Amino acid sequence: MSAIFGPVPSRRLGQSLGIDPIPAKTCNWNCVYCQLGRTVPLINERREYIPRDEILAELSATLEAHQPGEIDWITFVGSGEPTLHSGIGWLIREIKKITTIPLAVITNGSLLYLPEVRQDLLAADAVLPTLDAGNAQLYRKINRPWPELTFERLIEGLKSFRLEYKGKLWVEVMLVEGLNDSSQALTEIAMVLKEIHPDQVHINLPTRPPAEEWVRPPSQAAVLRAISILGEIAHPVSPADGNFDLSGRASIQDAVMDILTRHPVEEKILRQTIDQYTDGQADQVLENLLQSGQAQVVERFGERFWSIAKAVYSDKRK
């Protein structure tokens, strides 16, 4: 499996070239809304899961294969938590030496209480941590973290990082119906945000298949309430438009799996993309993925999504 994937259309970062420095579902949270399914087991060990030199060499080759303007951002976005890779700081600094393309890190923020992790991310142009709750009880219920990763440590890390970091700090809030979309829950989140002072707050909705089938996106009224309570810097993130890049891999099937390992893709979009690269062979490619046992189909609100076979969903029929 390649550590580099895309470019893929990103809701916030245009055409984003992804770097996934960890094996699939290596994470210290088990969020109820996770599009990659349940985290089994939780992992909270920082180490060099994939050799840093290999990642950098693969990235360099990928950059050389693309024309200027084809990549808007380079993004560390793991199929889990990317700061668990102990070499992420070295990678960020080395990448900044070879390209002027801005670099982002999408992280749950759980390890920012560690000085070494904060230091690792200082050279990034944008860091996007998560804040889904304004109190410890709701944090445990939504994010289901490694036991030692307390709510207090999460907030401590975010506040400390803000004091040290000079780049763009964009906090992500995933709204889940009945959990954190009430006025009280949103007010508690807003109070924490005032202590962190992010540059932007991105309101996300669980539109892809979640780990737990009961997870639902909030109503439009709840989204408007969130915008009002979270303040002027908060805005909902719209679905991304654009094409997945399936070039540069030994086969289309491998390229598709590189994408699915990082997030499920709606079937109609996946078919359109494969057809562009195979002259109408999407049916055969998808059938091969099913027969090989690499992928599965998960339904969500009547739409079919493709995900990796090892992703664990509570009920993939929902």
Segment 177-190, tens digit of pLDDT: 999 999 999 999 99
Q: Express as a percent the part of the chain with pLDDT over 90.
A: 85
Domain residue ranges of the chain, discontinuous segments joined by +: 4-242, 244-318
pLDDT at residue 242 in the model: 63
Tens of pLDDT along 47-105?
A: 999 999 999 999 999 999 999 999 999 999 979 999 999 999 999 999 999 999 999 99
Reference 55, options 7, 124, 5, 105; nearest CA is 5
| DSSP codes joined into one string, 111-123 | TTTSHHHHHHHTT
Q: What is the mean pLDDT of residues 256-264?
A: 91
Q: What is the mean pLDDT of residues 117-129?
A: 98
**Domain at 4-242, CATH from 3.20.20.10, 3.40.190.10, 3.40.309.10, 3.20.20.70:** 3.20.20.70
Check whether 279 has a pLDDT greater than 90.
no
pLDDT at residue 314 in the model: 86
Q: Express as a percent the part of the chain with pLDDT over 70.
A: 97
pLDDT at residue 1 in the model: 65
pLDDT at residue 11 in the model: 76
* CATH C-level class of 244-318: mainly alpha
CB 90 within 8 A of CB 118: no
Structure confidence at residue 246 as a pLDDT band (50, 70, 90): confident
pLDDT at residue 241 in the model: 60
In 10 A of CB 123, how many CB atoms? Answer: 18
Tens of pLDDT along 201-218?
A: 999 999 999 999 999 999
pLDDT at residue 240 in the model: 63
Check whether 318 has a pLDDT greater than 60.
no
pLDDT at residue 78 in the model: 78
